Amino acid sequence: MKRALLIIIPILVLASLIVWRLGEKHAESLDQAKMREMRMKAPILVATASAALRDIAHTFSATGTVESPQNVKIAAKVTGRIQSLNVREGDRVKRGQVLVRIDPDQVEADVHQAMAALAEAQYRLAQGQISQNSTYVGVDAQVRQQKAALNSAKADFEQVQQNYLAQQAAATASVNDAQAKVENARAAIKSAQANLDNAKSRCNRIVDLYQQGFVAAQDVDDAKAAVSVQQSALEITQGLLNSTLAQKESAQQQANIVKTKGKADIEASRAKKEQADASFGYASASTSQKSAYQQSISALRSGVDAAKAALRSAQAKRADTVLVSPLDGFVTGRYVDPGAVTTPGQAILAVQFVKQVWVTISVPEEIGPQVHIGQPATVEFDALPGRKYSGSVVQFNPSADLQSRQFMVRVILSNTQNLFKPGMFAHVSLETERVKGALCVPREAIQQSPAGPCVTVVEVGNKAKQVPVTIGVSDDNYTAIDQGLKLGQKVVTLSAFPVRDGATLRLDGKRPPGGPGGPRGKWGKGRP
């Protein structure tokens, strides 16, 4: 019996404890249910904001890289050994500062050679000009001489014509005087004989002169004709009875001779005039030599100009042995060392301008039409946290990249403090759209329901009501409401517990520090 009691008593104690614990748990459950019901009926603590008119700025953000607007590779134009190179990466340089010197010995030799070639070309030009002047003088003298000969031949021709007319008149007069001379024929025999002898002597002299080439054949004919005249005169005077007829016949013959001789003289003089005219034309044609000499002088001048150009080219190459910085900036690359032989086009140094820098970004095709030159931009750097810098769009490529279908945009920044280095990582924000005077609420007031966007409005009696809305553009803090709200209506931005339609709200009026992600405290855990 004692053993049975030992078993039954613990069982009874254990059962009593279980019953007591169950009663306690039931009482706790009832208390928790009462408290839950009280909390459900208690007003919900919320933060609110009023729908107000604001400017909404829509921004586009992209990441980019800092670049130098001027990145110059300094290269030589001539082949030579680098004589001096005293700068390295990171050194600051100024515009016009000498950076590199190349051994100028070979270039100096080319300069002296070009100077000698120029002197030789100038000497040839001077010699040609001297020869040209003498040729011009000779041609002009020949032209003047032939012109004078032509004028003389013309005067001689006119004189021969006048002589012919005078001789023809004299011959006519002789015929008229023949009749009167008949009576004086005998008295003139001696005179005629003397005249005949004189004419013969003269004829002999003229023949001698003709044989020596001093007189023309016509003069010989004239002399012989004079002898015949005197012989005829003698015969006439001796003709006594027939003197009248003989003298008349002689006079007529003399007239015929004068006519023939006069025509011959005129033709001979005309031939001389034509010959002189031809000689003058030939001399005038010689002036065409001037054009040839002028072309020769032009060619020599061209040779001088070519020599001058070659000298200038050699002098320019000599200047190219000294390389200077084209801008103010920093040396960012050094590719050779002193003593090395450089060739034209081979990069020696790299110099970058950094007083202003570019931040290059890419924008998608839907944002491209909203970007323009001069558009403000805000730039942030991971290397400079918490700081924002203002810039503007300075370049916009209107052609999209064929692979990415994005447009290249460059934002320019002032870098007077040398904070930004080429290659740094940057974040760029561009304001692409701004709506002025839009009805706005904080972005955290917008909720999503199966029917679409909605907000919780605080109505009369601090009752909650969920209202569907049509939203517009948004920025980082606010969203524009196109339909569904009125100006001044209060909306719930944050609550300690989920808010249902008809729930009573307790307005705090203050947003918790840090917004939705702030510390908990009275905005603690949500309802279970």
Per DSSP, helices labelled H in 320-436 are: none
Q: Where are the domains of the chain?
A: 44-56+436-523, 62-68+352-434, 72-103+321-350, 135-185+239-288
Tell how far CA 150 is from the center of its chain.
63
Cα–Cα distance for residue pair 457/464, rounded to 1 Å:
6
Q: Are 48 and 507 in contact (CB under 8 A)?
A: yes
Please indicate whether the domains covering 62-68+352-434 and 72-103+321-350 agree at the CATH topology level.
Answer: no
Q: State how far the alpha carbon of 37 is from the alpha carbons of 41, 307, 524, in Å.
A: 6, 110, 19
Find out if CATH 3.40.50.150 is the number for domain 62-68+352-434: no
Separation between Cα atoms, residue 208 and residue 399, nearest integer Å: 110
Query: Residue 180 has what DSSP assignment?
Result: G
| 426: nearest Cα among 377, 370, 365 | 377
Determine if the pTM surpasses 0.75: no
Domain 72-103+321-350 CATH (choose: 2.40.50.100, 3.10.129.10, 2.60.40.1170, 2.60.120.10):
2.40.50.100
> How many C-alpha atoms does 177 have within 13 Å on its Cβ side?
11
Task: Give CA–CA dist 307/117, Å, rounded.
Answer: 6
CATH of segment(s) 44-56+436-523: 2.40.420.20
Q: What is the pLDDT along the chain (528 residues), one digit of tens a residue?
A: 566 666 777 777 777 778 777 777 877 777 677 666 555 556 778 888 999 998 887 788 999 999 999 888 888 888 888 888 888 888 889 988 998 988 887 777 777 888 888 888 887 777 766 665 555 555 666 667 777 777 877 777 788 777 777 777 777 777 677 666 656 555 656 777 788 788 888 888 888 888 887 778 788 788 888 888 878 767 766 765 555 656 667 777 777 777 787 777 788 777 877 777 777 666 666 555 556 566 777 777 888 888 888 888 877 778 788 888 988 889 989 998 888 888 888 899 999 988 899 999 999 988 888 899 999 999 999 999 989 999 999 999 989 888 888 999 999 999 988 899 898 999 999 988 788 888 999 999 999 888 899 999 998 888 888 999 999 888 878 899 988 898 989 999 888 778 888 888 888 644 433 343 333 333 333 332
Q: How far apart are CA 286 and CA 144, in angstroms?
A: 12
